[in-house]
Amino acid sequence: MVLTRELKIHPSRGIRITYHGVIEIDSLYKGIKEWFNENRYDYFEKENTEKNRPEGNLLIIKMRAEKEIDDYVRFRLEVDMNEILRVKKLKKGYSGEARIIVRGFMDLDYRGNWKSLPFLFYLYNNIILKKKIQGYYWGKIYDEMMDLSSFIKSTLGIIE
Amino acid sequence: MRIDLLKKEKIKWEGITDFRELYKYLKLWLEDNGYADERTLEKSYIQRAKPEGQTQLEIVWKSKKKRSEFFDYHIDTTILVLRMSNVEIQLEDGSKRKMKKATFEIRVASYIQSTKKWDQLKGLQKLYHEFFIRKRIDLYIEQLYNKSRSYHSYIKKFLGIRD
């Protein structure tokens, strides 16, 4: 495997979680933010859309978080609640359909110090640092991504 | 030198809100936090009349706060209002209040920008400053990140969007 500037940790197009039922949206949303905070990620919100519809609201929330591990490696996690449809308020929580995608990335040389030295960058990643990237860093971000995914599933009440 | 923090983060709300109050309080937030000057904040205000009495608004604000002789904080706000129409709602006390029904889209971007003085530094002077200012830049990043997140949350709370 050739190590490039941005490495995808997630499988295929991301870890997809689909749920239909009672959703505690507020606790899910706040819970994910707290998860990022507890795991020392800087949180960014790419999009937060809410549309009122007669059949129930539509929510689109795109959450982004990044953590600088050292001067060279940065972890990034993305949670896209692409469509939370037909959201209707119940006595407790909301009912609706949720489609959530979790993605993880590892950025190498995120400060761009090696941008003008592509060949050395290639050598450094694929020979000198390869073992550490594949052994240490990869394992860490993968575990965090799976932990986040498990957290989301448990908040939704999905048994793993 | 430019360090981007919030990259055009989008808040979109389709419903009813008091747009005049939203406009006023966002401006006040920026002014109270030292980012805005009434005269220089608004770069663009475009209002277009649309069919069926609806209005479209495009507003661009660019606000800046001087942090040091070498760096400035910037918070840019873009407000897009589509299909805006007047509505009247009845409050709990029975009185009526004029509001606006529309799709409101607000994008917030924040970044640290070096000043001309920094860009003019050369040779050993530049090395010296880069070495000593590195930790300070981390502090600046944290400060602007917290401030712009706070502004972002303020907008969401006003619109009633979860935060």
B54 to B81, B85, B86, B99: CA distances (angstroms): 10, 5, 8, 13
The residue of chain A with its CA nearest to that of B145 is: A42
Strands (E), chain A: 6-8, 15-23, 42-51, 57-68, 73-89, 94-108
Q: Does B43 touch chain A (CB under 8 A)?
A: no
Give mean pLDDT, residues A15-42. Answer: 92
**Helices and strands (H, E) in chain B, number of each type:** 3, 6
Please tell me the predicted confidence (pLDDT) of residue A83. 67
Please tell me the predicted confidence (pLDDT) of residue A87. 64
Q: Does A70 touch chain B (CB under 8 A)?
A: no
The residue of chain A with its CA nearest to that of B104 is: A49
User: pLDDT at residue A12 above 90?
Assistant: no
Is there a contact between A49 and B12 if contact means CB atoms under 8 Å apart? Answer: yes
Q: Does B157 touch chain A (CB under 8 A)?
A: no
Q: Rounded to an integer, what distance in angstroms lies between the CA atom of residue B56 and that of residue B104?
A: 10
Is there a contact between A48 and B14 if contact means CB atoms under 8 Å apart? Answer: no
pLDDT per residue rounded down to tens, chain B (163 residues): 899 999 999 999 999 999 999 999 999 999 999 998 777 889 999 999 988 889 999 999 999 999 998 899 999 999 999 999 999 988 888 888 889 999 999 999 999 999 998 888 877 777 776 777 888 888 999 999 999 999 999 999 999 888 8
Is there a contact between B152 and A50 if contact means CB atoms under 8 Å apart? Answer: no
- Check residue B91 and report its DSSP letter: -
Q: Rounded to an integer, what distance in angstroms lies between the CA atom of residue B106 and that of residue A25?
A: 22
Q: How many residues does chain B have?
A: 163
The beta-carbon contacts of A122-125 under 8 Å, at least 24 apart in sequence, are A122/A2, A125/A3, A125/A4
Q: A111-120, A140-149, B47-56: which has the minimum mean pLDDT?
A: A111-120
Q: Does B15 touch chain A (CB under 8 A)?
A: yes
Interface predicted TM-score (ipTM)? 0.84
| pLDDT, tens digit, 9 for 90 and up, residues B97-121 | 889 999 999 999 999 999 998 888 8
Instruction: For residue A92, name the pLDDT band (cuts at 50, 70, 90).
Output: low
Q: Does A27 touch chain B (CB under 8 A)?
A: no
Q: Does A34 touch chain B (CB under 8 A)?
A: no
User: pLDDT at residue A41 above 90?
Assistant: yes
Q: A31-45, A47-61, A94-108: which has the minimum mean pLDDT?
A: A47-61
pTM (predicted TM-score): 0.88
Contacts of A43 in chain B (CB under 8 A): 149
What is the SS3 assignment for B6? Answer: coil
